[in-house]
Each structure stands twice: as structure tokens, then as C-alpha cells.
Amino acid sequence: FLLHDLIRWREALARDIARNNLELKSEQIASAVNRILFPLLLLRSAGDRHLVSERILDDLRYLQSSTETLAVLHGYADAMYSGDPPALGHLPDPGIDIVIDANILTNILDGLVSPDRRYDCSRMTANDIADLLHQYLSRTIRRSAAHQAVVVDTHDTVLSGSVVIPPHSLVDYMISGALQSARENRSLREVLPLRIFDPACGTGTVLLAAYRHLQTSTGSSLTLDERREVLRQSIFGLDTNRHAVAAARMLLFLELVSELEPVAAGTFSNLFHEVLGDLRHTILCGNALVGPEVEQEESWMFCPARERHALNPFSYPDQFAEIVASGGFDAVVCNPPEGPLEQREWIQRYFQRHYAAYHIRADRSVYFFEKALSLVCPKGTVAMILNSRYLRGSAGAPFRGMLKTWQVDEIVDLSTIPPGNPGAGLSLLRARTSRPARPLQAVVADAGFARDPKNFAAARGFPVDHQVLAGGGWTLRDTRIEAVLQKVARHGTPLEDVVMAQVHYGIRVTEEDPFLVDETRARSWLGKDPRCKPLLRPVIAGDAIVRYHAGVPAQYRILIPAGWTCSHPAARKNPWQWLKRRHPLIARHLQPFRDQSNAQAGPELWYETSCDAFWQGSRRKILFPARFQNLKFQPDAGRGVGDEKTLAFPSTTLSLAGILNSRLMAFFFENTVQKTGADREFFSWDDIARLPVYLPDLDRPDDRERTRQLEILMRRMLDQVRHAALAKDEALAMALKRKVQATDRRIDLVVYELYGLAPEEIAVVDAWREGASAPLL
């Protein structure tokens, strides 16, 4: 609503001034309008924030003439525009003698003091107002005929193609990283204050964020004088648009006095003039990219006189003499304008001669970054929010080549964010003026980045080696996972080779199977006749298997191997009678099914099982589900029998189960098998047959010791998991669960060592998403 009113008032003032002051040029009309509206906005903001009496604007309404009103407003405007070149080099800004219809000023004042106005400036931060004025100043006033004026896009807006305002969270994230980097470069004995510069400050969005961060970095509340000292000694800005410079100065003042107690109008005015007297030396108007040496260029003679003034070359050694003499700024932070250079020969020649990043289609923002690198002190920091076009395409190739010679600390690529979302199409680039010494930190952002940039970058950031960045375009891709996968594959042997393809399906189990007994009956039999134990085999259901455990067996199967009875000499004459005498409980249970089973048995004894020989004997093995979503393996000491949803392979050691259940193997499984089969809900043995299993060389002391540790940890794990599953007390169960998790972590660490992972590679696996491994309990 405030922006709507400012635009409406600008149009009304521009038409009136153009009609009543025929001698004024377009730029002078724009200056006259802004020298009225900016002070009014200042006073309205100060009133809403209770810095001055809310009647300060009411008092203006009752002045006798527009000249008196202009005199008050121009007092503030003169301070805002102090030290800047006038709109036209040879013509001064319009004064209080311009002719303005008193009714227009009255209408504007009425709108500002109306109780029905739809905005309260106290609810708007200085950054909110900066964004609003940035949009306001994207258009300017043009005299269209002798008595008329219209509002049109500025030349800079035409070049940029649009007005792009980065989200405040991205600006804050950039400032935080830049200030941290700048402080790291400073000696503890440094006496000079931290000096931050924005070469395209616009209405002050970036400088306001930097100023806030500097104030809060002390960890304590600052007095007004201390906050003023920070502003005077640490915040520097430059922009080609003098109206943007005036707005930035005004908003920095409002940020300074944001916690000030209400004061009299005269006191407020005096403080405003004092502070802006300081800012006239630190927030300046000029062209950050073009210096006075342009006048020595041969192409300068082709530049029209009107454009020579508008170019406004800037001399850093003259305007920032003390800073340049001491080595430069500590940090340059910026959100530079977008769009290509003008297609004018003298401009193209100048940039071709003075900028290594020059390309005829390069975005202007890359020149700001290159210039900033020359303005900071040794190992100083440059951080900017740029259009991401420089990352790819031929136009950005010279800039990318130049960047590879400096230490790039961070790139946040927001180009994949859909249009219309905050930050879409932008990127954050932070570098320092030292030779490349470590990988840069890259973040490929999505729409969630703007909500919490710091945590998003911490979770999604990854290192990129400068050397792997291609000259044809930079694709920021996290290769750490790929490198770990390759290393694990090199150190492993396919699982199917390890088990020599001896993978066995479980026994088909049906509810009406007479050979099935429930847990209660089985335990009763074992209590009465311990000799039954070899023939009562716990049934392990594939659906119940979790890592290291399948729960308490709900069923047992009477499994008498084929030929077992007759292997006893006393049983050969009458096997059934022998079984009845030796195992009466089992025989009594099976007796009702004798006739039915005898008819189905064929030549074998009807109560003996002629299943896969793998299950008939008692052997150590590892069981796992026939269909699964996550890796989960259960080692078995020998008696377990899998159902038809279970697979198993022989294993004489526990270490193999530890490797297969480890976080590293789950990491490998998800980033290979699951990634290529993203549309599949379940996986099978064929999908994991090529899992790389490390085979220790027991002749090597390191391998022998790690294998020994893994066996010990596995026995401890199986014991802890079993007790945790049986625990009835909740507190005890939680304590045991914590022990299980600690043991699981120690198993993971031993597996990392077996595969030879370095600390940074372990960090990649540990940073893998939570919950990727199958649950333990």
C-alpha cells in the first residue's frame, strides 16, 4: 500500500512540477519529486516508531504556503543528497522556489496522517522499506512534451530486464558468511575496525543487514554513540543512482535510531543532520566499475557529453584514501545489478581493456565481482548475490577462468528453484583474495533454502575441488558419495562369490501343517523331554526379521531329517514304535495324522522331512527376507528354520552379518540398488548378490585384530538385542536400547576401518540421511 501511494504521489507531483516549471529537465523534475517524498517518508517512519511526535506531519499541513513546507522538507533532503553531484552537472537541484500546487502537497500530507491509511511504518523494518524504495526507483520521470511528464523504466532497469529482490534470509546468510570469513583474516592485534563495502548499494538492503550483524556481533547492547561509531567507521557504500544513495543514507539513519527514545523535533533534526554529515563521506554516488582513467581512453571521444556526466567515474584512491592506503576493505558484499553492458563501442572497449571477465554477452554483475577483488585487502573476502548465468555458458567462461585463480569459499546455486519462488535464478558466490588452497563449499538449493539457509547449507553442502571444475561450465555435483561407493566396491568381493552361490529358500509353512506346534507346547515338551530339542526347530518368519533379530519364535517345526530314524540300529525293525518310545510327546502329537501323512510320504518314513538338506542339519547361517526394502540380516547359530518368505546362506563367522548389517552396507545399497530401482517397493537376492563384502586377510595383523573385534561386538550385539526384545520394564528396555545403539555404532566404526575409509569419507556416510538403515528393534 505504501508503494502504491508513493507511485501515485510521484505521478501527481511530476505532472504538476512539469506543467508549472517549464525550465526544468527530466532529471531535475525527478530530483524535485524525491526531495519531497523522501523527507516525508522519513518523518512518517520516525513518527510511527515514536522517535518524534506523531504530530510532526500534522504541523506541516498548517503552514501557510507550499514554500514553507518545501523549506522544512528540503532541510532534510539537503542532508540526504549532500556531497552528491546534481542531477545535471551544470544545473543545480530545484530549490524551494519551484512552483507546486498547494493542494497536491496537502493531499499527500492528508494521506500520510490519515487514520485510515493502510500501512504502519513501525511494522516495517528498514529492509522492508529499502525493498519498497528499490522498486520505486526502478522507474523515473521523463518529460514527454512541453507541459507533461511521464514515469518510465530507468536505464538500469531496461538493461537488467526486471527488478530482482533477493530474499532477506539469503542476504543475511551472505553477510554472516562474509563477516565470519573477514574476521578469520584479522589479527588479534588489529586496531582498525572491520570495514564493509557495497559497490552497488542501491537503497541499502545489503548494508542494512551488514550493519545489524556488526551491532549484534558484540553480544551486548550498544549505546547510540557506539552504534553511530560502527556506522561511521565500518559501513561504506557506492551507487550510480543518487536517489538510491539518498534513500540508503536515510534508512541507515533509521536503523541507527531504531532503539532511540522519543525526542523533540529539533533534536531529531539535529541528530539527522549530524549522522548524514558522516554518511556523506561513506555512502557515495559514483560508478563503481569505471574510474577517471576512462578519460584517457581513445574511445572516450565517442562518448556524448551528456553521457559523460551520467557515467560519473569514481576514484577510489581519492574518495577512500585512508582505506586504500591501508590495503583495502576487509569485505565487499553486494547484490549487483543484472543485465549485459550497453552495446556502445566506447563502453565495450573500456571493459575489454580493464576486466579479465569481459565477454560481449557477460552479465554486468561479474564485473562488480572482479572489481571487488581488487578493492579488498590481502586475503580479504568478496561475497555477492549474482545471477547464476555465469556458472554455465560461453559468456561466463572468462569469469570462471578468473575465479579459478582465487580461493572460492562457497557457491550456493539457486538456479534449480522454480520461477516465482524466493531466490529463483540467483546464486551466492563468496571468495577471498588468496590462491586456491582448499575445496570450495557448494550448495545446490531448492525452494526450502530461503526458509533456513544456514541449516540447509549445513545439511546439504558438499566440497568441490577447484581442479575438477571444467572450463565449459560448472556443474556443482556432490561426488563424495560416488567416490566412497567406488572405494567400497574396490575393497569388496561380491556377496554371491563369498557364499559361493549357496542361497537356500526356506521351507513352506502352512497353518494346517501337523508338524507345526506353538511356542507354549514346544517349551512344555522341552521341559519334559530335553531330548526333543534337536527335532524341534524354531521357525523364523521372513516378515519378522530385523537387523540381528527376528523376535521370539511363535512357532516350532518338528523336523526329523530323512534317514534319521534308521540311523539308529534299534529303530530299523519298527521305526515308528522306536520313535514312540524315544520321543513319546512328539509321537503322541503326530499319531492322529499318521494315516494322512503316510499316504503322502511315498517311500520315506511319513514323519521324516525330505526338504532341502541345508535345513535338515544344524548349521550356522545368516537368514534374511526373500523380499525386503532395507538390508536386514539375522545370524543363526544352527537350529533356526526359515519359512517360505526367508532365504539363507551358510556362514561360519559372525563378522559377515556385522558387515552386511552395517551402516556402510546400507549406504551402498541405497545409493546403488535403490537409486537405480527407485520405482520399486521391494528387492530380492538378485539385487544384493553383488554387494561388496570385505574378506579379511587373516595373515595381516590389522585384519586379524579387526575381525576379532567384530566377532566380539557381534556376540555382544546379539545378546543385547535378545535381552532388549524380552525386557518388560520400559526403563530397562530403553537402557538396553541405548546399549544396542552404542554397540551398533562401534560395529560401524570397525567396518569403516576394514574398508579403509578416511575420516572425511566416514563423515559422508555418517551424514547420510537418518533412518536409512533398517531398524534394530
Each residue's pLDDT tens digit, 377-422 = 999 999 999 999 889 888 999 999 999 999 999 999 999 898 888 8
Task: Identify the weakest region by mean pLDDT among 32-41, 456-465, 500-509, 549-558.
Answer: 549-558
Model pLDDT, residue 208: 97
| pLDDT over 50 at 771, yes or no | no
The three grid cell numbers given for residue 350, joined into one nine-digit string: 573500456
Closest C-alpha among 56, 39, 33 to residue 113: 56
Model pLDDT, residue 598: 63
What is the C-alpha separation between 484 and 762, in angstroms, rounded?
Answer: 9
Place of cell 538456479: 415
| pLDDT over 80 at 774, yes or no | no
With 0-12 / 13-18 / 19 or more C-beta atoms within 10 angstroms meaning exposed / middle / buried, residue 188 is: exposed
Per-residue pLDDT, averaged over 702-725, amounts to 93
What is the C-alpha separation between 295 and 338, in angstroms, rounded?
Answer: 25
Place of cell 572516450: 300
DSSP 23-49: T--HHHHHHHHHHHHHHHHHHHHHHHT
Each residue's pLDDT tens digit, 733-756 = 899 999 999 999 999 999 999 999
Three-state DSSP state, 331: strand
Can you name the residues that pair with 429 across neighbouring β-strands? 384, 411
Per-residue pLDDT, averaged over 430-444, amounts to 94
Each residue's pLDDT tens digit, 677-687 = 878 889 999 99
Model pLDDT, residue 769: 59
| pLDDT over 60 at 122, yes or no | yes
| pLDDT over 60 at 599, yes or no | no
CA Rg, the chain, in Å? Answer: 39
| pLDDT over 70 at 601, yes or no | no
Model pLDDT, residue 360: 92
Distances in Å between the Cα of 76 and the Cα atoms of 59, 367, 485, 726 are 16, 35, 65, 79
* E-assigned strand segments in 112-189: 139-145, 148-153
Total residues found in the chain within this entry: 777
With 0-12 / 13-18 / 19 or more C-beta atoms within 10 angstroms meaning exposed / middle / buried, residue 494 is: middle
Each residue's pLDDT tens digit, 516-569 = 999 899 999 999 999 889 899 999 999 889 888 877 788 899 888 888 888 888
Model pLDDT, residue 321: 94
Residues ≥6 apart with Cβ < 8 Å to 250: 38, 41, 42, 80, 276
Per-residue pLDDT, averaged over 309-328, amounts to 90
Task: Identify the weakest region by mean pLDDT among 11-15, 53-57, 579-583.
Answer: 53-57
* E-assigned strand segments in 388-486: 407-413, 426-432, 440-444, 462-464
pTM comes to 0.77
What is the C-alpha separation between 695 and 693, in angstroms, rounded?
Answer: 6
Per-residue pLDDT, averaged over 159-188, amounts to 87
| pLDDT over 80 at 86, yes or no | no
| pLDDT over 80 at 303, yes or no | no
| pLDDT over 60 at 304, yes or no | yes
